Chains A and B, each alone.
Chain A
Amino acid sequence: MKKFLVVLQYELKNYFKNKSYMISTIFLIVLVGIGMFLPRFFDMSGILGTPQKNESAQNVNESDNATSGQDSKESKNMIIYDKTGALKDMSLLNSIFKDVKWQIATNEDEVKNSVKEDKSEAGFVVNSLTDYDYYIFDKSMSDSNTYSFNAALTTISQINYCTTNGLNYAEVATAFNPTISSNEQVLGKDMSQNFWYCYILVIVIFMSIIVYGIMIATSVTQEKSNRTIELLITSTNSNSLLFGKVIAGAIASLGQVGAILCVAVFSYRINQAAWGNKLDMILAIPNNVLITFGIFGIGGFLFYAFIYGAMGALVSKTEDINKSAGGVQMVIMIVYFVVLAQLSNINGIVIKVASFLPFSSYSAMFARVAMGTVAPWEIIVSFLILIASIVLVGMFGAKIYRMGTLRYGNPIKLSNAIKFLKHSK
């Protein structure tokens, strides 16, 4: 235990004396901290889309001219060729397409050319009230012009029908579209609120494991390549060496990621009102989710860090680490993509199973706690499985580490290492 603490202290000192580690940590903490306090000192309504501090409701009402002047700056151009003549009165279109300046074309080619030459953002050729052609040059993912135009044509058809049949369109419209008020009460979790911070935290833990895992493997391999390893393993036992390295990596990782995350979350909480709750979906992380993330994140980190340490001992050159650690990286990547893909199906069987498997529970269980409904026994069982797996992987990793440390030359295949361990028993 004493020697483990010596290794831990030495390895931690290495991290804290590492300039890039310290500079990046301090820089990010300061940056995030300052960023969170900015709305207290600067008007950020332009960025946040919130009303300006000095822009009262009165001001909004009183200056129609100014507003329209501003609107004209942001308005888009669209072109229309109406073969039916039903859209002569543009008021309906103007009410639906609020920021659009309409140009009337005299033929279909004029519409196409205008769009092609980028004079108009989009163009419509109305063949009848139930058939039109839509022209667009580069269609964005959020393009909703056709929905709006469909609404316009539908309304015209409805008005025409009411007129033909002697009905009052306003009355019919009110009858068919009553104003409904709803009072939503989410008794479980609101996925629309939790999705983004959950998504970000899954990425954070994934990156931490990959980055620090490789650092641990590199540290082991470097000791092998500069031949320090022989002195180390003849000075203390290999368990102290591997456990010291891995726990130091976990503390350094937790220190860096945890500090940045805490600064972001807690300084946002202080400035939540100033931000107008705009970052709630990313930073209003409940304490129970943060704690679950911390506990399962550390567990998952340790699980993989021991494997990375052992993989580092199987090679003699740092450039060979990817050969031995490639399989582990692949598992981590698969877990990452599966969990992200299953965030929208948080109570599905895939993520439920993943939340109990030790190589995926670190992100799957945390995601379930954040976004779904999980019974306490599930969290406890998953955590116990994770702890037991960490102990087993730690012991196995230490054996591989011990076996691999004095074997130089070509990378040792994991299967050969396991065979050797069986044989040596």
Chain B
Amino acid sequence: MRLEVKDIKKSFGENEVLHGVSFDIESGKALGLLGRNGAGKTTTIRILMDVFHSDSGEIFLDGKKFERKNYQIGYLPEERGLYPKKTVIEQMVYLARLRGISKTEAIVNSRKWLTRLEVNEYEKKKLETLSKGNQQKVQLASTLVCNPDIIILDEPFSGLDPVNSQILQQVVRELISENKIVIFSSHQMSYVEEFCEDIAIINKGEVVLFGDLDKIKREYGEKQLVLSAVNYDLDELKTKCISELNDVLEITGKTKDTLIIKIRDHVTRNALLTAILTKNIEVEHFETYKPSLNDIFIAKVGEE
């Protein structure tokens, strides 16, 4: 299956919040939908879920117009919500039946997912008596109870301890391997890097970066290097580079221990290294810059 979102626009009153959002994703892959708070991620997801109607633009599945009601979608909203006074199994079965699953199947599926997420012992407990992490797992089990073809997870790891995070990571990997379409929205970039082959970064209602994450990283790191010196601290090194090496490099940022530099167009790596050494800089690190998703994200949407 291939889900394509094409040029979605949406306004609330006079305020246009999505200015033509486009991205696509295939089965067996996870898409990281990223953006700052208020960028338009949740609105995009809600349009996918048919909670809102877009003003223009279309969604296609395998080239045909996407009809939400014809597909099972497992949606874990960012704002978690279940009935606190109801038992776990009762509300899971109810939600499954609302999605068109028979009662018997709903009970079987509920137990399967509660067991898989290691919360089956709370089946008959009221939700409000569970810890936040276990409530989160019940919420995820409710998302998956209908055997969805498309899974949308909005901040699925929030509130989980490292052990529970590991269980969830394994579940997400299984879903991807089962050829599901997974849309994954999170501010925890390490998880996105781990699961998502593709990313779409939304900023102020526009997709500012979309594509294969590895390719994006390669392109972003192209002609960039990290540099540190034994005989200068980072601030001294930065001052020296700006004053004495400006014709061969440009400083684009810094990490905890190194400067990130970009080689000027006409300069080779060897020429740059020679220039650095001639300035009496004792090189500690001089290697290709491999940007993290976090770096890319901040570079794309960090500045106003």
Residues of A within 8 A of B (CB): 2-3, 6-7, 10, 223, 226-236, 406, 420, 423
Complex-state Cα separation, A390 to B81, whole angstroms: 31
Query: Do residues B98 and A235 form an inter-chain contact, with CB atoms below 8 A?
Result: yes
A226 touches B99 (CB 8 A): no
User: Which residue in chain B gives the minimum CB-CB distance to A227?
Assistant: B81
Known contacts: A227-B80, A230-B79. The answer to whether A6 contacts B97 by CB under 8 A is: yes
Whole-angstrom distance between the alpha carbons of A3 and B94 in the complex?
10
Contact A406 B46 (CB under 8 A): yes
Contacts of B97 in A (CB 8 A): 3, 6
Cα A6 to Cα B94 in complex, Å, equals: 8
Knowing A10-B94, A423-B13, say if A231 contacts B82 (CB, 8 Å): yes
The residues of B that contact A228 with a CB separation of less than 8 Å are 81-83
B259 CB–A CB distance under 8 Å: no
Complexed CA–CA distance, A236 and B50 (Å): 10
Contact of B163 with A by CB under 8 A: no
Given contacts A234-B73, A423-B13, contact A7 B79 (CB under 8 A): no
Flag whether B38 is at the interface (Cβ < 8 A). no
Minimal beta-carbon separation of B18 from chain A (angstroms): 15
B51 touches A227 (CB 8 A): no
Instruction: Assess whether B98 is in contact with A226, with CB atoms less than 8 Å apart.
Output: no
Tell me, yes or no, whether B84 is within 8 Å of chain A by CB: yes
Using CB atoms, name the residue of chain B closest to A238: B51
8 Å CB interface, B71-112 against A: 73, 75, 77, 79-84, 94-95, 97-100
With a cutoff of 8 Å between Cβ atoms, the chain B residues found around residue A423 in the complex are 13
Contacts of B95 in A (CB 8 A): 231-232, 235
Given A6-B94, A234-B51, A423-B13, check contact A227 B99 (CB 8 Å): no
Q: In this complex, which of B49, B79, B82, B142 has the most chain A Cβ atoms within 10 angstroms of its Cβ? A: B79
CB distance from A410 to the nearest CB of B (A): 16
* Residues of chain B from 17 to 74 with CB closer than 8 A to chain A in the complex: 46, 49-51, 73
Contact flag A236-B81 (CB < 8 Å), given A6-B94, A231-B75, A406-B46: no
- A402 CA to B13 CA, complexed, in Å: 17
CA A130 to CA B142, docked complex, whole Å? 90
For B73, the chain A residues whose CB sits under 8 A away are 234
Q: Identify the interface centre among A223, A227, A229: most chain B CB within 10 Å of its CB.
A: A227
Chain A binding surface SS class: helix
- Are the C-beta atoms of B81 and A230 separated by less than 8 Å? yes
**Complex interface bits, B134-166 against A, C-beta within 8 A gives 1, otherwise 0:** 000000001000000000000000000000000
Cα A228 to Cα B94 in complex, Å, equals 12
Interface residue total, chain B, C-beta cutoff 8 A: 21
CA of A229 to CA of B80, assembled, Å: 10
Please, how many angstroms separate the alpha-carbon atoms of A420 and B14 in the complex? 11
Residues of the A chain whose Cβ atoms lie less than 8 Å from the Cβ of B80: 227
Task: Note all chain B residues with C-beta closer than 8 A to A7.
Answer: 98
Q: List 9 A-B contacts (CB under 8 A).
A: A3-B100, A227-B77, A228-B81, A228-B83, A230-B81, A232-B95, A234-B73, A234-B75, A236-B98
Hey, which chain B residues are within 8 Å of A2, CB to CB? Answer: 100
Least CB distance, A245 to chain B, in whole angstroms:
13
Within the assembled complex, what's the spacing in Å between the Cα atoms of A10 and B51? 22
Report whether B51 and A233 are in contact in the complex, using a CB–CB cutoff of 8 Å.
yes
Closest chain A CB from B73 CB (angstroms): 7
Chain A residues near B13 (CB-CB < 8 A): 420, 423
Chain B residue at minimum C-beta to C-beta distance from A230: B77
| Separation of A53 and B82 alpha carbons in the complex (Å) | 62
Given known A-B contacts A227-B77, A231-B77, A423-B13, A236 and B51 have beta carbons under 8 A apart:
no
In the assembly, what is the distance between CA of A314 and CA of B83, in Å? 20
- Bound: A406/B52 CA distance, A: 10
> Is B100 within 8 A of A231, CB to CB?
no
Bound state CA distance, A325 and B75, in angstroms? 32
Residue of A nearest to B79 (CB): A227
A2 to B82, CA, bound (A): 22
Residue of A nearest to B81 (CB): A227
CB distance from B156 to the nearest CB of A (A): 14
Q: Specify which chain B residues have a CB less than 8 angstroms from the CB of A235 in the assembled complex.
A: 95, 98-99
CB-based contact B98/A230 at 8 Å: no
Bound together, the chains give a CA A150 to CA B25 distance in angstroms of 100
Other than A3-B100, A231-B82, give 7 A-B pairs with Cβ distance below 8 A. Answer: A226-B81, A227-B81, A230-B79, A231-B95, A232-B95, A236-B98, A423-B13
Is there an interface contact between B46 and A231, defined as CB atoms closer than 8 Å? no
CB distance from A220 to the nearest CB of B (A): 13
Within the complex, the shortest CB–CB distance from B72 to chain A, in Å, comes to 10
Question: With the chains together, A232 CA to B13 CA distance in Å?
Answer: 25
Given the complex of chains A and B, what is the CA–CA distance between A382 and B98 in angstroms?
Answer: 36
- Closest chain B residue to A3 by CB distance? B98
Instruction: Return the chain A residue nearest B96 by Cβ.
Output: A235
- Would B51 and A231 count as touching, CB distance under 8 A? no
Residues of B within 8 A of A233 (CB): 51
The residue on A at minimum CB distance from B68 is: A234
Which residue of B is nearest A2, CB measured? B100
The smallest beta-carbon distance between A419 and chain B, in angstroms, is 10
| Closest B residue, CB atoms, query A6 | B97
Q: Kindly list chain B residues whose C-beta atoms are within 8 Å of the C-beta of A10.
A: 94
Q: How far is the CA of A229 from the CA of B77 in the complex (A)?
A: 11
Q: CA of A213 to CA of B95 in the docked complex: distance in angstroms?
A: 25
Closest to B82 in A: A228
Closest to A10 in B: B94
